[in-house]
């Protein structure tokens, strides 16, 4: 299951530096707007101690953790929705992601130019949100114009419901409110899905700070948290410079470096976990002497759908899922002891997968 979060923000807020840490690639991170011209895609591992435990237990040939895809999208500016800078092109890239991670500058540095001349995280967030709102408003208005009054008056129930939903979104956008913050029914969400609206995508604000503010934050972080709380959004505090340094170290050196900084986990680990949570994702596991692997699935998916993530034949010919929980395996120490304790179970087509389930799928095609 491929899921993507887009890193967006104004120029020179630290997106490309953070992305360097994510991918360990040396993409251009220059001190001027539009240093990043094409979207860059990289993968980050989702931290999961369960995978490490299973790997130690089974000693497999391969260990594959869950991963999350991040796309670094070039800096937006005022007027991006109207094509200012390189705006329209970048807005189209954002439409392709599942969630938005908005990197916000929360640090002072006279050597790094701010596109607006001063550091103000709330102004920066509102500038970007306005561009997303204007871009979506154009999409909605164009669709309503194409539908026309005639189509809506024809008595077509589907057309009427679509028009009603789009009018609801239009009203929200005209009031400078992102529709992600209004109540939408499942039917309305389904209607809106093909439009890939930017302002409906879930969002995380990434506060990029200097090294000295990584633990306690600063006044800029506090203001951003107050703003995000009104949107029921999360703020992840990172120092992109530290993350880039961490990306050059091996596991043991990383651990020592974090301990020296008195930090429990890296900003990237926090961001990956927060992105996972934001999209309602969980992990099921497969384990054996050949491979230990973490598989990403949407919460609420049933066993056959999860089997299909591994291979379409598994879903098509699904018979049963042999399942034990990670906690039971950890408690009893081996598959055999889990079985002896009666904790290994067979689940059918209606079983809703639980986070940490260790699965063996039975199928016949």
Tens digits of residue pLDDT in 323-355: 999 999 999 999 999 999 999 999 999 999 999
Torsion on CA atoms 23, 26, 29, 34, rounded to nearest 10: -80
Tokens 């904790």 found at? 343
Q: What count of other Cβ atoms lies within 10 Å of the Cβ of residue 24?
A: 10
The encoded tokens of residue 23 equal 């991918």
Tokens 């972080």 found at? 221
Q: Which contiguous run of DSSP H or E holds residue 325? A: strand 318-325
Helix axes 15-23, 267-278, angle to 10 degrees: 90
Q: Are 364 and 317 in contact (CB under 8 A)?
A: yes
Q: Are strands 291-298 and 281-287 parallel, antiparallel or unpaired?
A: antiparallel
Q: Per-residue pLDDT for 36 more than 80?
A: no
Res 37: pLDDT: 40
Res 17: pLDDT: 85
Q: Where are the alpha helices (DSSP H) in the chain?
A: 15-23, 49-58, 87-94, 121-153, 157-174, 186-192, 219-230, 240-246, 251-260, 267-278, 303-310, 312-316, 326-332, 335-340
For 233-246, the pLDDT digits (tens) are 999 999 999 988 88
Banded pLDDT at 208 (limits 50, 70, 90): very high
Select the more confidently predicted residue: 242 or 34: 242
Give me the chain's average pLDDT, please: 86
Q: Per-residue pLDDT for 85 more than 50?
A: no
Q: Provide, rounded to the nearest whole percent, the portion of the chain with pLDDT above 90.
A: 51
Q: Are 13 and 208 in contact (CB under 8 A)?
A: yes
Q: Per-residue pLDDT for 95 more than 70?
A: yes
Give ∠ CA 209-276-101 in degrees, rounded to 5.
40
DSSP per position, 143-209? HHHHHHHHHHHTT-HHHHHHHHHHHHHHHHHHTT--GGGS---HHHHHHHGGG--GGGS-EEEEEE-
Whole-angstrom Cα distance, residue 20 to residue 70?
Answer: 11
Banded pLDDT at 106 (limits 50, 70, 90): very high
Banded pLDDT at 78 (limits 50, 70, 90): low
The encoded tokens of residue 99 equal 């969630």
Whole-angstrom Cα distance, residue 6 to residue 322?
Answer: 36
- Average pLDDT value for residue range 114-143: 87
Whole-angstrom Cα distance, residue 149 to residue 156?
Answer: 12
Banded pLDDT at 32 (limits 50, 70, 90): very low
Instruction: Please name which of 64, 104, 61, 44 lies closest in space to residue 268, comparing C-alpha atoms.
Output: 44
The encoded tokens of residue 57 equal 């237990």
Query: Which residues partner with 281 through β-bridges?
Result: 298
For 154-194, the pLDDT digits (tens) are 667 888 888 889 999 999 999 988 899 888 999 999 999 99
Q: Per-residue pLDDT for 103 more than 90?
A: yes
Q: Are strands 62-64 and 291-298 parallel, antiparallel or unpaired?
A: parallel
Res 171: pLDDT: 94
Q: What is the pTM of this model?
A: 0.81
């Amino acid at each position: 299951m491929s899921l993507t979060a887009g890193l967006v923000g104004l120029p020179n807020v630290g997106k490309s530096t953070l992305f360097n840490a994510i991918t360990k690639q040396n993409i251009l991170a220059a001190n001027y707007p539009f240093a990043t011209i094409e979207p860059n895609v990289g993968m980050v591992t989702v931290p999961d101690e369960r995978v490490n435990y299973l790997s130690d237990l089974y000693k497999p040939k391969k260990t594959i953790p869950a991963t999350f895809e991040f796309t670094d999208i070039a800096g937006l500016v005022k007027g991006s929705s109207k094509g200012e800078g390189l705006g329209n092109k970048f807005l189209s890239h954002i439409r392709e992601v599942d969630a938005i991670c908005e990197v916000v500058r929360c640090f002072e540095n006279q050597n790094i130019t701010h596109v607006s001349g001063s550091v103000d995280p709330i102004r920066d967030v509102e500038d970007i949100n306005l561009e997303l709102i204007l871009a979506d408003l154009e999409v909605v208005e164009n669709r309503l114009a194409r539908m026309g009054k005639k189509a809506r008056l024809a008595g077509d129930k589907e057309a009427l419901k679509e028009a009603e939903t789009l009018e609801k979104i239009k009203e929200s956008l005209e009031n400078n409110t992102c529709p992600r913050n209004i109540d939408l029914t499942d039917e309305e969400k389904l209607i809106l899905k093909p439009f890939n609206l930017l302002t409906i995508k879930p969002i995380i604000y990434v506060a990029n700070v200097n090294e000295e503010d990584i633990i306690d934050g600063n006044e800029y972080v506090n203001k951003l948290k107050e703003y995000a709380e009104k949107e029921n959004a999360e703020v992840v505090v990172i120092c992109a410079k530290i993350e880039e340094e961490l990306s050059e170290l091996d596991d043991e050196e990383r651990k020592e470096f974090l301990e020296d900084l008195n930090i429990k986990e890296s900003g990237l680990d926090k961001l990956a976990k927060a992105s996972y949570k934001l999209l309602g994702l969980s992990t099921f596991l497969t384990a054996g002497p050949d491979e230990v692997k973490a598989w990403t699935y949407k919460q609420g998916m049933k066993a056959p759908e999860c089997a299909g993530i591994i291979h379409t034949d598994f879903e098509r010919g699904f018979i049963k899922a042999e399942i034990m929980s990670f906690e039971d395996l950890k408690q009893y120490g081996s598959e055999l002891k889990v079985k002896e304790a009666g904790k290994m179970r067979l689940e059918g087509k209606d079983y809703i997968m639980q986070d940490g389930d260790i699965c063996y799928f039975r199928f016949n095609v």
